[in-house]
Structure 1
Amino acid sequence: MPSIRHEIPLQLLRHRAEVAPQIARAVGLPVPDLPCWRPGPETVTLLSPGELHLDVVLVGAKVDKPEFAIIHEVQNSCGTTELERIALSWPAYVTHARQRLGCPVALLAFCPDERTARKIAAPIETGHPGFTFWPRTYWPGMLPAITTIAEVDQRPELALLSAPGHLGDGERRRVLEMVLEAQRLEPDMRVQNHDYISTCVPARYRKEWEELVAIAIENYHWESDFAREHQAIGRAEGQVEALSGSVLRILERRGLAVDDAVRARVTNCTDIAQLTHWLDLALVVDSAEKILDPGTHPSSESK
């Protein structure tokens, strides 16, 4: 099963395809300036039975004609088995996608650290004279640090993707603060994004990260215009169920016992404001029962 460190970067790109060319240019890959970017096909049918499964494809177009495509892979390991698989599959990804889309195609791989990125970027000899495939890789430290509200407004996805590479003493706190601001822009993805950043933050900074989360919840205000606008947008159908499930999931992932009384209160609640408040509390309380403390409720629970 794919890990959250594999899936969240891909989810961010599927959500806003135009982030892909921004990342490519930030790490030195020339990409044409095209008016429209959209997700493309993530499977390529082979001549013989079978398919190649790509992580995500983003296609830049003028009107309906593809002009350039970026295959975006997430590669978190660089062992011998992985390198052998990459050597056989990645050149095929590019050539088959190019044949299907009829436009230039580049492959870009997101790696967790510089060491992995360097190993994955080793040239792949295909055997055909002059046809050496060079994977283009990057890691969070190659992306610009996002340290201002204005940057978060423009590039919230980059705030999340770049943060693990900018945790030095000089900029760590501001970078993590902007991660929290970016999470607020998409309330429905807040739990997954928090989980992702928590797995990326080194153990020595974990306490500082959790303290910032607690401060953000306590102060709970929206700093950016973009965030305030998104907070005002109505929730999609089914959000109550998603929120209640997220509250219970966070409590359980933090190792807190959830008894039947807490579970029933959470699953039977239909008040979105109440569930959102419980979601925030679930990140910081030291026992599941404390999310039900009447003194912390922003509104009465729906019956």
Structure 2
Amino acid sequence: MVSSQHEALHRVFQEESGLVTRALRMLHIPFGDPTSITELATDLTENRPLERRVDSLLKMETAKGTFLVAIEAQGKKDPDKPANWAYYLAHLYAKYKLPPLLLVLCKDRSTAAWASSPVNIGPPEWPALTLRPLVLGPDEVPVIQDAAEAAKDIQMAVLSAMVHSRDQDVDVILKALSVALKGLEVSDPEAAMKYVELTAQGLGDKTRAAEIWRNLVAVDTSFFTSPLSEEIRDEGRDEGRTEGRTEGHIQRQAEDILRILDRRTIPLTDADRERVTSCKDLGTLTRWFDRAITATSAAEIFADDEPGDEER
């Protein structure tokens, strides 16, 4: 099961694909400015009962040529990963006939050092392939502790907060991001809401950073209108006011699901839309909301849920 924290660490590149170029330049490799960036399907499944999925996949077009970027969020050392990564790159090259590269995102230095080590594939006398991942970890991603700096590049500030979520001074990083998002909310409240939620997911559950972020959002719930701030608001309501607020939360959650799917161009039938808007169970809507972030079809949204269950 892929965690929300795992999803957020690489999905920030989908929300603003230009972040890839800025991130790669931190590694001192002179990639050119992209003339276009296209998000591609992440399914690398073969015509066999074997499924392989890269976390995120982007096609980068530059003045010098076109290449693919396979993005993987790696939380710990995994001896099986080099073989899987080599498979991904070989498959992508065969499928798209474009040169691929692998970008690995890590939250701790030990995992980053492990992931960045080249892996020779083949006999030692003549390795047929050498896997050379590019790795972004705490030593490569800047620590953004100034709100003005965070406001200049919100996506990089979100990535910084997630990658440095285990740092001792993460509270300063998160405060800067919070202030920057408060400013963004004035011009683009939908984007501000999206990054509030994405940051919350990237910080994980029951972590020190997650609790700090929750407290920051609680202080500024007057401008944050995300599901996270709504959850915090609801916790502070007395029982007599909970029912009305819950109804509003349910309506907003349903609207958020449809908005996410529309922005991700996931096709929905009228019956699908009616099923979402007529659902009165907040737990079901929350489950659908989480699935909407990564699902590739309506069937994945409603997986294991029979029509009518949400009304019981």
TM-score (norm 2): 0.62
8 A Cα contact 1:183 1:193, kept in partner: no
1:56-135 equivalences under 5 Å are 56-61=56-61, 67-78=66-77, 82-84=78-80, 86-127=81-122, 129-130=126-127, 131-135=129-133
Structure-1 residue corresponding to 2:270: none
Q: Name stretches of at least 5 consecutive residues in structure 1 with no aligned partner.
A: 221-230, 232-238, 273-303
The AA in structure 2 aligned to 1:57 is L
Q: Higher mean Cα deviation, 150-159 or 35-44? A: 150-159
1:1-303 equivalences under 5 Å are 1-46=1-46, 50-61=50-61, 67-78=66-77, 82-84=78-80, 86-127=81-122, 129-130=126-127, 131-163=129-161, 164-165=163-164, 174-184=172-182, 185=184, 186-196=191-201, 198-199=203-204, 203=208, 212-217=216-221, 246=228, 249-250=231-232, 262-268=242-248
Separation in 1, partners of 2:29, 2:85: 17
Q: 1:51 to 1:13 in 2, by over 3 A?
A: same
Secondary structure of the 1:74 match is strand
8 A Cα contact 1:141 1:165, kept in partner: no
Aligned length: 241
Q: 1:258 to 1:106 in 2, by over 3 A?
A: farther
Structure-1 residue corresponding to 2:292: none
Separation in 1, partners of 2:249, 2:167: 42
8 A Cα contact 2:158 2:199, kept in partner: no
Separation in 1, partners of 2:159, 2:56: 16
Structure-2 residue corresponding to 1:235: none
Separation in 2, partners of 1:210, 1:246: 8
What are the superposed Cα offsets for residues 195-248 of structure 1, whole Å, 9 maximum, x if unpaired?
236538963x77765654455457x5xxxxxxxxxx9xxxxxxx9xxx6x6566
Separation in 1, partners of 2:181, 2:198: 7
Q: Name stretches of at least 5 consecutive residues in structure 2 with no aligned partner.
A: 185-190, 253-312
8 A Cα contact 2:218 2:229, kept in partner: no
8 A Cα contact 1:71 1:106, kept in partner: yes
Structure-2 residue corresponding to 1:291: none
The AA in structure 2 aligned to 1:33 is D
What are the superposed Cα offsets for residues 33-82 of structure 1, whole Å, 9 maximum, x if unpaired?
2211121231235365644311101111259x97022111001121xxx3
Q: 1:73 to 1:30 in 2, by over 3 A?
A: farther
Q: 1:102 to 1:66 in 2, by over 3 A?
A: farther
Q: 1:166 to 1:48 in 2, by over 3 A?
A: closer
8 A Cα contact 1:111 1:139, kept in partner: yes
The AA in structure 1 aligned to 2:243 is R
TM-score (norm 1): 0.64
The AA in structure 2 aligned to 1:12 is V
Q: 1:189 to 1:114 in 2, by over 3 A?
A: same
Secondary structure of the 1:89 match is helix
Quote the sequence identity (%): 20
Could you say what the CA RMSD is over the residues aligned between the two structures, in angstroms? Answer: 3.9
Separation in 2, partners of 1:172, 1:47: 45
